Amino acid sequence: MNIIVCIKQVPDTAGGVVFNPDGTLNRGAMLTIMNPDDKAGLEAALRLKDQYGAHVTVVTMGLPKAEDVLREAMAMGADEGVLITDRVLGGADTWATSSTIAAGIRNLDYDLIITGRQAIDGDTAQVGPQIAEHLDIPVISYAEEIKLDGDYIIVKRQYEDRYHEVKAKLPCLITALAELNEPRYMTPGGIFDAYDEKKVTVWGRADLKDLDDANIGLNGSPTKIAKASDKVRKGAGEKKADLDPQGACDYIMGKLTEKHVI
Amino acid sequence: MDFSLDKKHALAQQLFKEFAEKEVKPNAQETDETEVFPRANVEKMAKAGFFGITVPKEYGGQGCDPLTYVMAVEEMSKVCGTTGVILSAHSSLCVDPILFWGTEEQKKKYLPDLASGKKLGAFGLTEPGAGTDAQGCQTKAVEDGDSWVLNGSKCFITNGKEAEIYCIIAITDIVEGKRGPQKKFSMFIVEKGTPGFTFGTKEKKMGIRGSSTYELIFQDCRIPKENMLGARGKGFNQAMHTLDGGRIGIAAQALGLGEGAIDCCVNFVKERKQFGKSISAFQNTQFQLADMATRMEAAKHLVYAAAYAKSTKPVYSVEAAKAKLFAAEAAMDVTTKAVQLMGGYGYMRDYDVERMMRDAKITEIYEGTSEVQRMVISGALLK
């Protein structure tokens, strides 16, 4: 079985966030990590590999330094990596990103594609399902549990107060939640293999077939960012010290009703 | 000349840091307080492949270099000195001699379980009457048919009772030398559970209190002949060479302890206020921290250089001795300063630095005292 896992290098929330003048993120200037939902997706793929045997390819699109996140994934156990990088692909929104990644995936053999639900930088949760649409395969999002049943995949799909068990014929795409599992550590030997033995294939625009220039990069992105900023500190809350417990409850309930919270 | 880590080693360092913070740090204080061997840490490190970092893949190891191993010991020791020495003693003192002098059969038999961490390793040289004077060892091995019969005892053995596989030094021959009778030592692999091999008392220590330190007792302990490790009569040289490697591990432990104390101290002095301002605003704090950081950085270069020498040179005694001497004394100095900068809080067991100061002391003593390191270094200069 061939499994493709789409992963993204995202800013480490422990570090600072740096914006470009056009409102997009300055990814080159920030500390980075593997997006947590994607890491869970990778772990799910590696568990399928451990259980059934599989060839796991990790795919990412980003700056040349995004190769680091592919090496990390290979140090965890992925077999090879594909880096899609080209200046003309920069500034892509979810539409342009999914169009580009889908074009990259068309170059590969796959039975199952796993992406994270969403990246902690954009929080759109759109790229995974859009890739499935571009490739015309079924998508099951918000996976909590993944089982393989012959040519089918059975997924527990998270809902607010319940879950759905969904079955789909392969090939299909699954979006994974960070809660899906506890990702394994890299191993020291895995790290050495990732750099010494395993391969990262780099694709630029010219390597991507069936891809319209109107659908790539900043120009191919229908989303325009009007403004981006750091979180603004909220004002101090209201303090009421002169109320007895009953009075305090009444006051809080009154405020919540006033603001249409309840 | 580039002093920065390459990407491979930088990623390994990231792994060890993350693992130490998440898996080891949360129970470091409890390990010290209860003096209970941190079995859970050992199992997690085993799963992550840390017990076979330098073992070739063909024997089930990770196939990495000494620098990677040194970084693992350093990062574990930053948060828990006990965990650092468990890893160091296992790797340097048991895995390494089997790798160096083991026959193909011995390697195949012992290395896979040691590398996977299924079995822990230990080393026995020190005896009640033989510490720095290692030639004073009394434990004997006598040939009897197809066995060796061991009699004697070893003391202060790290990973004692917890380990399954022990590399033991014993006298096998007495030969007439220029200055009278001379002992000839050999090294043996002894498995836990061998009849006649028992454990004495568990030592109560100042620091590294979760590390299991035991006396080993051999009473007519019969081991198969094929368990001799290396050539007969070469045991003393083998033990010294093993300790050269061990010293790099302990130097890494010392390095981690010093760096860990600086991390704790920096966080504390930024928050602690006296005379209306943070104590980090006082020049004494700043200058002390500057000296501490500089000493540990110097130690790091010596330790990493010694690890590099181990991967490139057949003999690295002087590099190892310099690394251990400097790193151990720096760790003792830096952890003591950290306690002083943190004042009364630093002295309390609620803060990690008092434990680190107690842990640091042993790095000046075991696997060759600082005085022994000075003998090795000056011996090479004056020969």
Greater confidence, B71 or A150? Answer: B71
Is B72 at the interface with chain A, CB within 8 A? yes
Is B179 at the interface with chain A, CB within 8 A? no
pLDDT at position A31 is 81
pLDDT at position B354 is 97
Mean pLDDT along residues B100-120: 98
Question: Residue A233: pLDDT above 90?
Answer: no
Nearest chain B residue to A189, by CA:
B62
Task: Give the gap in angstroms from C-alpha A215 to the nearest C-alpha of chain B.
Answer: 34
Task: Find all residues with CB under 8 Å of B149, minimum gap 6, and list them.
Answer: B141, B142, B143, B220, B221, B222
Nearest chain A residue to B68, by CA:
A188
Q: How confident is the model at residue B32 (pLDDT cuts 50, 70, 90)?
A: very high
Q: Which of residues 25-64 of B touch A (CB under 8 A)?
A: 48-50, 53, 57, 61-64
pLDDT at position B29 is 97
Greater confidence, B317 or A122? Answer: B317
Task: Give the A:B interface size as CB pairs under 8 Å.
Answer: 49
Q: How confident is the model at residue B48 (pLDDT cuts 50, 70, 90)?
A: very high
Question: Residue B227: pLDDT above 80?
Answer: yes
Of B11, B18, B63, the CB nearest to A189: B63
pLDDT at position B24 is 98
pLDDT at position A29 is 75
Mean pLDDT along residues B21-48: 97
Is B306 at the interface with chain A, CB within 8 A? no
* Set of chain A residues whose Cβ sits within 8 Å of the Cβ of B62: 187-189, 192
At CB < 8 Å, which residues of chain A contact B? 68, 71-72, 75, 185-192, 194-196
Greater confidence, B364 or A20? Answer: B364
Mean pLDDT along residues B97-118: 98
Is B207 at the interface with chain A, CB within 8 A? no
Q: How confident is the model at residue B155 (pLDDT cuts 50, 70, 90)?
A: very high
Of A68, A75, A188, the CB nearest to B68: A188
pLDDT per residue as tens digits for the range B318-345: 999 999 999 999 999 999 999 999 999 9
Residue whose structure tokens are 């006649």: B196
- Return the domain boundaries, chain A: 2-215
Q: pTM, whole model, 2 decimals?
A: 0.90
Mean pLDDT along residues A223-238: 76
Cα dihedral: A149, A152, A158, A161 (round 10): -70
Per-residue 3-state assignment (H helix, E strand, C coil) for chain A? CEEEEECCEEECCCCCCCECCCCCECHHHCCEEECHHHHHHHHHHHHHHHHHCCEEEEEEECCHHHHHHHHHHHHHCCCEEEEECCHHHCCCCHHHHHHHHHHHHCCCCCCEEEEECCCCCCCCCCHHHHHHHHHCCCEEEEEEEEEEECCEEEEEEECCCCEEEEEEECCEEEEECHHHCCCCCCCHHHHHHHHHCCCEEEECHHHCCCCCHHHCCCCCCCCCCCCCCCCCCCCCCCCCCCCCHHHHHHHHHHHHHHCCCC
Binary contact (B62, A189; C-beta < 8 A): yes
pLDDT per residue as tens digits for the range A179-224: 889 999 999 999 999 999 999 999 999 999 888 888 888 888 888 8
Task: Give the gap in angstroms from C-alpha B48 to the nearest C-alpha of chain A.
Answer: 6
Is B12 at the interface with chain A, CB within 8 A? yes
Binary contact (A189, B50; C-beta < 8 A): no
Mean pLDDT along residues B217-243: 97
Nearest chain A residue to B64, by CA:
A189
Task: Give the gap in angstroms from C-alpha A101 to the nearest C-alpha of chain B.
Answer: 26
- Mean residue pLDDT across chain B: 97
Least confident of A86-100, B104-118, B205-219: A86-100
Question: Residue B112: pLDDT above 90?
Answer: yes
pLDDT at position A15 is 67
Of A185, A190, A192, the CB nearest to B19: A185
Task: Give the gap in angstroms from C-alpha B261 to the nearest C-alpha of chain A.
Answer: 22
Binary contact (A189, B7; C-beta < 8 A): no
Of A185, A187, A195, the CB nearest to B8: A195
Of B8, B19, B48, the CB nearest to A192: B8
Sign of CA dihedral A247, A248, A251, A257: negative
Binary contact (B7, A71; C-beta < 8 A): yes
pLDDT at position A121 is 77
Question: Residue B20: pLDDT above 90?
Answer: yes
Binary contact (A187, B48; C-beta < 8 A): yes
Report the alpha-carbon distance of residue B40 to residue A244 in Å, rounded: 50
Percentage of chain B lying above the pLDDT 70 cut: 100
* Set of chain B residues whose Cβ sits within 8 Å of the Cβ of A194: 8, 11
Task: Give the gap in angstroms from C-alpha B76 to the nearest C-alpha of chain A.
Answer: 14
Report the residue of B11, B45, B74, B95 to disrupt the A interface, i.e. the one with the largest count of A CBs within 10 Å: B11
The verdict on domain A2-215 having CATH code 3.40.309.10 is no
Nearest chain B residue to A192, by CA:
B8
pLDDT at position B250 is 98
Per-residue 3-state assignment (H helix, E strand, C coil) for chain B? CCCCCCHHHHHHHHHHHHHHHHHHHHHHHHHHHHCCCCHHHHHHHHHCCHHHCCCCHHHCCCCCCHHHHHHHHHHHHHHCHHHHHHHHHHHHHHHHHHHHHCCHHHHHHHHHHHHCCCCCEEEECCECCECCCHHHCCCEEEEECCEEEEEEEEEEEECCCCCCEEEEEEEEEEEEECCEEEEEEEEEEEECCCCCEEEEEECCCCCCCCCCEEEEEEEEEEEEHHHEECCCCCHHHHHHHHHHHHHHHHHHHHHHHHHHHHHHHHHHHHHCEECCEEHHHCHHHHHHHHHHHHHHHHHHHHHHHHHHHHHHCCCCHHHHHHHHHHHHHHHHHHHHHHHHHHHHHHHCCCCHHHHHHHHHHHHCCCCCCHHHHHHHHHHHHHC
Task: Give the gap in angstroms from C-alpha A76 to the nearest C-alpha of chain B.
Answer: 10
* Set of chain B residues whose Cβ sits within 8 Å of the Cβ of A187: 48-49, 62
